[in-house]
Amino acid sequence: MADPIHMTDPNSLDTGGPTDDCIQPYMIDKTGLHGRMVKLGPSVDAILSRHGYPDAVQYMLAEMLALCAGLAAALKFDGVFTLQTKGDGPVPMMVADVTSDGKMRGYAQIKGEVPPLHEAIAAPIPKLLGAGYMAFTVDQGADMERYQGIVALEGATVAECVQRYFEQSDQFASAVNLSAGRRPDGTIGAAALLVQRLPEEGGDKSIGYADQDAWQRAMVLLKSAKPEEMMDPDLIPNELLFRLFHEDGVRVFPARAITEECRCSREKIENVLKSLEPGSMEDLKTDDGTYEVTCEFCSRTEVFTDADLGHTSA
């Protein structure tokens, strides 16, 4: 990893890396606390624009995507990190995932009447998702054991729900500030600020590089960031980090780019269909006898014939 940059001059904070659709790692000098700022613009807007979700659903999924990218950046893995919710509300499922090389996608399943934004915005978890759970999954392929953590959907917002998971975790303590909404140009953006306290050897998360007072101070500063600051396309991540933490000293590491990219392909879909019994595929069959499959993530539709799938006529 390249050497960090110690930010002492607010007028020269652009380090030459990406400043939008990026993950900006940082460290607070005084306490040794590590964190990440995620800023999403065109990537998250492209994901959402394919679906036509109501605003309340778009904003929550945008927050989930920013959170997913921020959590994945804290892990050392080679594969896919997935954040998924399941509940009994009008939005029974939301999925956001990001690969270890920064490719992101997401979708929401809607099966009921979604309340308007002004009704859902204060408490989107109970209004949209209802009762259920949020799962965090690291999948590194068939040859590696899959890791999963689960927390109940308790709290009013995504940030409150994930904070409960952090509080229950034996691995590390973290705090998060999430935001999503319309940018001045009408597109949707999202942002996440995370700070993490690593436990000392032995796993006691109550003791880390930062004492309790320093940890509380970092959480207060983190949550003082306003939504308009976090999502401002003209405010680079380094400048916001300097505003928040300059009194304690803050260093930034090279930023990582995030791109939106679905992992579906015609070949993958064809292989799945070939593994199914022909009789179980009637729901996919159209009036002209072909099979249509639409990817839930990117909304791309692929059409197959019986000949494509190797089906023989009776």
Q: Identify the CATH number of the domain in which residue 90 sits.
A: 3.55.30.10
Q: Annotate 190-226 with b (16+ C-beta within 10 A) or e (fewer).
A: bbbbbbbbbbeeeeebeebbbeeebbebbbebbeebe
38 and 124 in a common domain: yes
Is 241:33 a contact under the CB 8 Å cutoff? no
Which of the given ranges, 136-145, 148-157, 284-293, has the highest pLDDT on average? 148-157
- 43 lies in the same domain as 124: yes
Q: Which domain holds residue 284?
A: 266-304
pLDDT band at 232 (very low <50, low <70, confident <90, very high): very high
Check pLDDT > 90 for residue 272.
no
In a domain, 133, yes or no: yes
Summarize the chain as % helix, strand, coil (round to 5).
30, 30, 40
Q: 242 forms bridges with which residues in the sheet?
A: none
Span 117-123, mean pLDDT? 93
d(CA 258, CA 103): 6
Residue 11 has pLDDT above 80, yes or no: no
Answer yes or no: do 286 and 213 share one domain: no
295 and 180 in a common domain? no
> What's the mean per-residue pLDDT of the chain?
87
Banded pLDDT at 75 (limits 50, 70, 90): confident
**3-class state of residue 110 by DSSP:** coil
